[in-house]
Chains A and B, each alone.
Chain A
């Protein structure tokens, strides 16, 4: 019997490989303007 359901993989470590091209959207250009949320931004490389 399994006691764990894993929703996703180790995405952060993997992302080091594609990291830092800087082509993605700036967080504040979306809807925040007074806070900082980056986790809902899309990676420009994975969008394609």
Chain B
């Protein structure tokens, strides 16, 4: 299976099952066009070669065909699917290795698109106690088997509203890590309102990544990310975000925003972040029911795809100007990315990664919190529903029929289970719009890598 497309003046060919990427000339592209989706080396292609030769020379057509045969025999073009068997024997036997700790089901902003119900998660406003936090650490140590690296993400609501407990849990985990042989890595997501020098210092000393929520331009940010009195948050948070990003040497953080139907020109928001000096950026499509005015719908698809292409061009322009920055969804490692097992199984929600509420309840991930059908147990009792775990564990690219013919399946692993469930009531039926976005982002990311490689850019 191959995927070929034209972007940024390049003819790009992705060999889906090997992961090889080729930049080809028009003759080769035409040849692939005429051969189609599959190639059989025992078949006679002389008519196709002759037809291609009419547009160029017969010699060029023949050269292209012999290159195609060489790549095919080297396992870099028209490669067969050799993972289906691996997936059939899928028996992952996962261990829990990452927790999303909801240390605060409360927030000091009232962002209109918040999937967390402005912090309440369909429950009531409350904070996690240190006791629950410590139990969560004990739980992950007990349930992580021989895994050494354990990740703890402090999430909310707004985790800075309960920062003393964040510190208590972190210190406890560091201590327990020593006696249990685990290496804890901490991350935190914040809206920045309560960020101060002391908190910054602690975060920088202890957290391997910090996600700073900002939607981009002031007008974009303040339309959605508002305080309790309805006023915008941009002016209060941007100076603090610039400060903490610089204090981390512009690395190991992301400014992360959300785009909605109200800012379909989100490339301008990403560029605004870059203009503010941020080198690590991420802007995600909003996830919202179609009844909301800001929800992304089919009618927005062409505009959004064009916007990703526009962003990709601006992204490369900045690199050519010697002013590179990173955009999360355009970062793709064509040589040393994750292994195929990771690519088949995805984010690990519900089996390797779970969310813990302030009360200690366990859910498959932060986006399932509040849906009691998915309550998996409690860190306080140690109870953990193996049936729910097993459903998530078994889910992979090959259990999702919609992924069968998709070229991007090994880059997104079949998408987000929570989105799939929320839109289609089935974790194995991906959310179609998100698939469309992902395919375009993968196309852009590969094109960017191609230009970087050809022009020797950073």
Chain B, residues 13-57, CB within 8 Å of chain A (1/0): the string is 001011111111101100000000000000000000000000000
| From B23, B115, B352, contact of A7 by CB (8 A) | B23
Interface residues on A, range: 35 or more
Residue pair A1, B453 in contact (C-beta under 8 Å) = no
CB of B208 to closest CB in A, whole Å = 9
Q: Chain A residues near B218: list those with CB within 8 A.
A: none
**B380 on the A face (CB < 8 A):** no
Q: A28-B100, A28-B365, A32-B284 are in contact. Are A41 and B76 (CB under 8 A)?
A: no
- CB of B187 closer than 8 Å to a CB of A: yes
Asked if B105 is at the interface (CB within 8 A of a chain A CB), the reply is no
Whether A38 contacts B438 by the Cβ 8 Å rule is no
Residues in B neighbouring A19, C-beta threshold 8 A: 339-342
Beta-carbon contact of B76 and A2 below 8 Å:
no
Query: How many inter-chain residue pairs (CB < 8 Å) link A and B?
Result: 218
Flag the segment in B159-167, B267-275, B329-337 that touches A.
B329-337
Flag whether B195 is at the interface (Cβ < 8 A): no
Do residues A34 and B419 form an inter-chain contact, with CB atoms below 8 A?
Answer: yes
The B-contacting residues of A in range 1-48, CB under 8 angstroms, are 1-13, 15-16, 18-20, 22-44, 46
Chain B nearest Cβ from A10, distance in angstroms: 4
Q: Are B329 and A37 in contact (CB under 8 A)?
A: yes
Closest 5 CB pairs of A and B: A20-B341, A10-B18, A12-B19, A19-B339, A39-B411
Other A-B pairs beyond A33-B256, A37-B441, 15, CB < 8 Å: A3-B67, A4-B25, A4-B28, A5-B454, A6-B76, A7-B450, A8-B19, A10-B74, A19-B342, A20-B341, A28-B349, A32-B282, A35-B438, A42-B333, A43-B337
7 A-B pairs, CB-CB below 8 angstroms?
A5-B23, A13-B18, A26-B348, A28-B366, A30-B211, A35-B434, A40-B328
